[in-house]
Structure 1
């Protein structure tokens, strides 16, 4: 299958240049929070604006396993670039009009991935201790077989602990207006002058970069989340509710990434 045929719902054509990296995302849990735009706007660089859904900004915590990460024309290196990852992201648009994601923080268990992404792609990667433990019925007979437990600890002592249980069968994300809005994102933005949005910096200038991404349409299942600890953004003055407004799970997705380029003014 040609990459252009992978997703007929993609809202703009693929770049003319070839992709540079592929990776498979597995066991993705999305925990979504609706909030007032003014809470997140201080972290958004000049040249980007918050994208809103029914006048609400959204912050998403995404926990996943990255598998088979490889650069173009290179085979995957077994286990070296398989790692766990956590993303804190919000939703933005640039002057190009393309809806994308903007990462406030990314944690990975691979120090190689942290070094490469933070150095080359100007993304806010840091090393993190992150355990994603599926609890199957044969391992935990007293638990439902569709339970997953997550334990995440950053070096600044912020933590995230929760477990989930599947709450629906799988359905196309495009079938629901909100899940479509949250997932139909085929680019990510970063600021080369402000790679860590959570650090206090001068926001009078920015050097915005856009990275195109291609993947098949999302299929999701809603999940129930029992939150045990969540202090991820407390040092930044953001207290997240004990219960998310929406949470979903996706088993697997293949993604292709292009080289970043400057946002066209």
Structure 2
């Protein structure tokens, strides 16, 4: 299988909010359903580092390392007895227009471009990580403090549910969905000891998500990350008549 994109994803913060599934339904691609954990729907504000990015194994000079901030929710698609667990992105934010343009043009993704920055500090027993992005002349941010020793995710845990989704689904239109697959090993997580979230959800993601401005996260996780591969092949799922 040809690999479209290779990159290292590092220090993957997931800020997880319980959300009314009715808010998500307008963004739900055809052919998938909302994936629930203990009967509840979740959406995640995510920050992580993209490093050593390659497209078709060719390094991207100057643009290969950057911060990404995204908002995503969780879905599944059943094929017989096999369940494909995946994610749908409301928006993905990066600092480079060229990278965003390529992703949007090739795959009809929802990338936007704003200035971003981050810092990382590691001490003997703790580490601190912060991602920031500039919106309407105001810096938004995700800050976490964790222990320095990582641990395995517990089977059937909330952490496992959040991180172990290996498919992506894109709503092309009302009658077509694109499906793609990610490859990466099972990640380890760092116990979080402190966090602070400063995000204007309504301005960043639209009024549908303004409720998150007043919602406390259910949990905040940090994974170590790894090399990640995204396959070139995308399955076009068609339902009914698809207009060009």
Q: TM-score, normalised by structure 1?
A: 0.78
CA deviation string 1:109-128 (max 9, x = no partner): 12121011111011100102
Task: Tell me if the contact between 2:86 and 2:165 (Cα under 8 Å) persists in the aligned partners.
Answer: yes
Task: Tell me if the contact between 1:173 and 1:183 (Cα under 8 Å) persists in the aligned partners.
Answer: no
What is the Cα deviation at residue 228 of structure 1? 5.0
Q: Does 1:39 align with 2:43?
A: no
Match of 2:13 among 12, 29, 32: 29
Match of 1:262 among 229, 236, 239: 236
The structure carrying a bigger strand percent of its residues is 2
Task: Tell me if the contact between 2:35 and 2:76 (Cα under 8 Å) persists in the aligned partners.
Answer: yes
CA deviation string 1:57-115 (max 9, x = no partner): 110111011011112242x2343221111111000123544110000000011212101
What is the Cα deviation at residue 191 of structure 1? 1.7
- 1:10 corresponds in structure 2 to none
- 2:40 corresponds in structure 1 to 56
Task: Tell me if the contact between 2:93 and 2:114 (Cα under 8 Å) persists in the aligned partners.
Answer: yes
Do the aligned partners of residues 169 and 36 (structure 1) sit closer, same or farther apart at CA in structure 2, a change above 3 Å counting?
A: farther
CA RMSD of aligned residues (A): 2.5
Matches within 5 A, 1:207-218: 207-218=176-187
Q: Does 1:116 align with 2:89?
A: no
CA deviation string 1:166-198 (max 9, x = no partner): 0574122244521111111111000223xxxxx
- Give the ranges of 4+ consecutive aligned residues of structure 1 lying more than 6 Å apart after TM superposition: none
- 1:67 corresponds in structure 2 to 51
Task: Tell me if the contact between 1:81 and 1:113 (Cα under 8 Å) persists in the aligned partners.
Answer: no
Match of 1:237 among 208, 211, 217: 208
Partners in 2 of 1:261 and 1:83 — Cα distance?
Answer: 28
What is the Cα deviation at residue 26 of structure 1? 1.4
Partners in 2 of 1:61 and 1:228 — Cα distance?
Answer: 10
Task: Tell me if the contact between 2:27 and 2:171 (Cα under 8 Å) persists in the aligned partners.
Answer: no
The number of equivalent residue pairs is: 231
Partners in 2 of 1:186 and 1:250 — Cα distance?
Answer: 15
- 1:80 corresponds in structure 2 to 63
Task: Tell me if the contact between 2:151 and 2:190 (Cα under 8 Å) persists in the aligned partners.
Answer: yes
- 1:133 corresponds in structure 2 to 119
Task: Tell me if the contact between 2:17 and 2:215 (Cα under 8 Å) persists in the aligned partners.
Answer: no
Partners in 2 of 1:72 and 1:255 — Cα distance?
Answer: 13
- 2:242 corresponds in structure 1 to none
Partners in 1 of 2:47 and 2:184 — Cα distance?
Answer: 18
Partners in 2 of 1:117 and 1:171 — Cα distance?
Answer: 33
Structure 1 gaps, min length 5: 1-16, 139-143, 194-204
What is the Cα deviation at residue 158 of structure 1? 8.0
Partners in 2 of 1:163 and 1:126 — Cα distance?
Answer: 22
Task: Tell me if the contact between 2:109 and 2:170 (Cα under 8 Å) persists in the aligned partners.
Answer: yes
CA deviation string 1:129-172 (max 9, x = no partner): 2221113559xxxxx851222322246x7863232110574122
